[in-house]
Each structure stands twice: as C-alpha cells, then as structure tokens.
Amino acid sequence: MKKGAVDRAALNTWWTDRSIPASRSGVREAMETLQITDTKMLLIRCFGLSLSDQYWIRPENSELAWENINFFENEFSDDIGDVLFGADKKPDPLNFSSPDNTSDGNLKKRWKIIDGKRCLVKGGSNPYRQQPLNEVIASEIMRRLNIPHVPYTVTWNKGAPYSVCEDFVSEDTELVPARRIIQTKKQPNNKSMYQHFVDCADSLGIPGVRDFLDRMIVLDYIIANEDRHLNNFGAIRNAETLEWLGMAPIYDSGSSLGYDKSVPMLRDGSEVVCKPFKKHHEEQLKLVSSFDRIDFSALAGVGDMITRIFSDNNAKDYMEENRIRVIAELTERRIKNLQTLADSKTHKQTITTDDEVGKNIAASYGDTK
C-alpha cells in the first residue's frame, strides 16, 4: 500500500527484495551452475516461501495448500543450498523447494534442518573470515547483559568458519524489518531518523521500543558494529492476528570488531562507522535514554573471552596473535569508556535532527571525551 491505495510498483519492489541479491558471495558461480540469469527466477520455483514470514504465491487454479508446502512444518531440499556453497550440480534434477531461494544478505549462507530445527548457516568474508566468530562473541556479551538475542555457535567446514543460529520466526509469527516500519509514515524534514522510527513503532503499537534501542545501541558500541542497517533489526508480530509481540531478538552482529580491518587500521579507529541512526558510535550513544539496565560488572573479563574464542585452533589461519590482542584491548577500552559515560552526570540525552554529523569525531572514537 502507498498513501492508502494498492500500489503495483511497491509490490514489484517487495518481490524483487525477496530474492537473493546479485552481490551475494558466490552467487554468480551458483547461477552458472543452475543455468539461470536472474536470482528472481528462483522465487517462482519455491512459490516465494521463506522462513522469515508467512507470505507466498499460489499459481492460479492451483490446489496447493500452505500446510502442505510451508518450510516451517515441512522438510525442504538441500540442493540450492549446496550449489550456493559451491557444490557442483547433481546429475539428477534439482529440487528447488528451498528457503535458500529467498534469503537476503551478501555473505554466503544457507538453511539446514539440524536435529529437527530450522537453522541458518552463514559464512564470513576474506581476509579474516571473522564474522561467524564475532556472532558468538556478541551472543556472549548479550547473554551477560540479559539482552534478548539470537544465540550463535560456530561450525567449521573445509577449514572455514560458519555461524549457526536457529530460526526465531515460527509458523505463527513473522519478522517485519525496521525498514518496513519506518515506511508506514512519511518522515518530516525536522525529525531525525531515530525519532521517526520510534514514532512509527509507537503508532503501530509495538511495545518496548526505546528500551530495545538503548540496548542495541550500547551493544553496537561495545562490539564496534558497522552494519546495523534497517534490515538487521525489526519487530515480531502474529501472522494471523497481526498483533505486535515486540522487537525481535538481536541478530546479525557479525560485521563488527574490525572484521575487515588490518591491525594498524584497528588501532587508528578513524574508519569505524555505524548505522542506522548516526554515522559514528559516539553520536549514536547520545540517543540512549538510560544506561540503568547495563550491568557493567557482568562485562568483566570480556577481553579474555574474546581471546579464547579467536584463539580456536581452527582460526589460526585467519587470526594472528597480535590481531586478537588488539581487538580484545580495544573492546575492553570501549567498555571502560562506556562505563565512564554512564556514570557521568553531564551526559546529555540529545536527539538531533542532523543525521549526518559534519565534524570529524571519529578520531576520538576510542576515548570518550
């Protein structure tokens, strides 16, 4: 819908966004193997079915029923996931019934049924392949801080790490990304993205939004997350009644801890950016309404935890000792800076309308002034 009316172009955009992005790692080779020219062609083959929501398409005059084909209750094929992960095409006809046809994001990923649970398996990017390990670290930090989150583990395949998490959407619920939420109302020119999102969520009746954003912003500062874009968080609602159940548990935190930066770049810190409300973490922290829920004592020894996870024998081909030490030290420093900020009587809870801060504050990222 746009302006209260059905909009065909908006439907086409939604459908296109449902397909695997052409920028996905390894997707070009997969398309050659599958002998297709556009990833949108895969959508038709699986009726647009997903493991993130309850939407699908049914051919005209078809007798297909949701309960017989949805991926929450029925098994699905590994064929497309195998191809996306670099396997050669099988001699037998491929079974295209797979939620991998509708997965987004640029990193190599696939869905697997593991011990009866729908799990997302996701890789990392060169040169450090760090994102899967970062997910485990972020999970542990959120566990310590009692932040609702999706737990992650790491598995290794052919010498490369992959994160594994269980689907947090069920056959009765759906994930609505933040990007869709902010589109429910037009953003006034004099209102910041942060306030606009809060207003949209409040209008929809989504509970606990400000508390959720406080925790998410704090987490992203601690782990130096660079990619919390509007599709990387969202809300959960009942797919039948459309009742809003609350914000989704935090997920997809892998693009953090200097995942693609060399040691000198890590130390410099000037290229650390953030999303979605501000360009730099120091500015985004000003949006936090309260630090009262942050138990800093629970963060004791986070540097040791990071060192232990990155020192896995399987990670030695990607993570050098010096790199691990620098990441752990910088994370501990950010935690210390955050505690100083939380204890400060002069911290101003300021929400600005200027989302693009002009002055260069990135140089002071490592040390709160």
- pLDDT tens figures, 338-347: 999 998 844 4
Query: Regarding the domain delimited by 173-364, which CATH topology (the fold level of the hierarchy) does it fall under?
Result: 1.10.1070
- Of 290, 281, 215, which is closest to residue 247 (Cα–Cα)? 215
- pLDDT tens figures, 259-310: 999 999 999 987 789 999 999 999 999 999 999 999 999 999 999 999 999 9
Return the minimum-mean-pLDDT range out of 8-12, 25-29, 82-86. Answer: 25-29
CB atoms within 10 A of CB 117: 11
- Of 333, 354, 229, 231, which is closest to residue 286 (Cα–Cα)? 354
Preceding omega of 127 cis (within 30 degrees of 0): yes
* Interacting residues of 309 by C-beta distance below 8 A, sequence separation 6+: 133, 136, 137, 140
The DSSP H or E segment spanning 118 is strand 117-122
Q: What is the rounded CA–CA span in Å between residue 302 and residue 241? A: 42
- pLDDT tens figures, 52-105: 999 999 999 999 999 999 999 999 999 989 888 888 877 778 888 999 999 888
Handedness of CA 14, 16, 20, 24 (dihedral sign): negative
Residue 352: is its pLDDT beyond 70? no
- Of 306, 315, 282, 289, which is closest to residue 130 (Cα–Cα)? 315
Q: Is residue 315 within 8 Å of 241, Cβ to Cβ?
A: no
pLDDT band at 106 (very low <50, low <70, confident <90, very high): confident
Q: Where are the domains of the chain?
A: 8-122, 173-364
3-state secondary structure of 123: coil
pLDDT band at 40 (very low <50, low <70, confident <90, very high): confident
pLDDT number for residue 302: 98
